[in-house]
Structure 1
Amino acid sequence: MKRVVSTDDAPAAVGAYSQATTNGDLLFTAGQIPLTPDDELRADAPVAEQTELALDNLTAVLAEAGAEPTDVLKVTVFLDDITDFDEMNETYATYFDEEPPARSAVEAGALPKGVAVEIEAVASLE
């Protein structure tokens, strides 16, 4: 059975989606962008800082579901410019330094609210 996961420690959903959903075994997060929980958009910040904020949001959603970064099985990173990969990756690696999850990183062309990075994940709750 599907359960919606929501926390005030990450930005609220601003459309017809949930911060995350779970069936009790797997957690699927919505894409997290560099938006603070109090709606401060950091679209003009360097990519490293945007990545950090997106991953902080992701970590907060994971925590609400009883998970942590070590439970993440798969991450998808969307970049508005793939040449920002190295800068994103350097920050990303500090969140997933041991036994990192599978990951895809793709250039999306345009991301919500003009940000440079959006990150979503699938985690195990077992």
Structure 2
Amino acid sequence: MSSKPLIQQIDQIGRYSVAIIFICAGLISFIWNDHTLAINKLTPLNLSPVSTHFLFYGLIVMDILFGLLLLFTKNPIIPILCFCIVTGYTLVISFIMPSLLLDPFGILLKNIPILSWLITLILIQKERA
């Protein structure tokens, strides 16, 4: 039996899980993804080419940064901001690529458990306050 209270263990599992997802998503997008293909998927947003590139690389940096913040800080605003990011991603992607809503691999549906973890982290922070 661990000496850490259960709520603290849940907090750590949630933070590590979501942080790994954010960091890996950023790194995979930067290292292994076809940047041209990914940037072309943003064309429905009707941004200039410079803005599209800035958005693409900015989102990569944001994912990695928020993953690291989840890992190394206990700032209660970070899970709230991560919740907003995942919700925003889901809504925008649903709008520009609605076919992903019915994707057989559940690309967007996988955001539901991530949002659930983030809600859990938010509630834990609220309980501690």
Same fold (TM over 0.5): no
* Structure with greater strand percent: 1
Q: Bigger radius of gyration, 1 or 2?
A: 2
* Structure with greater helix percent: 2
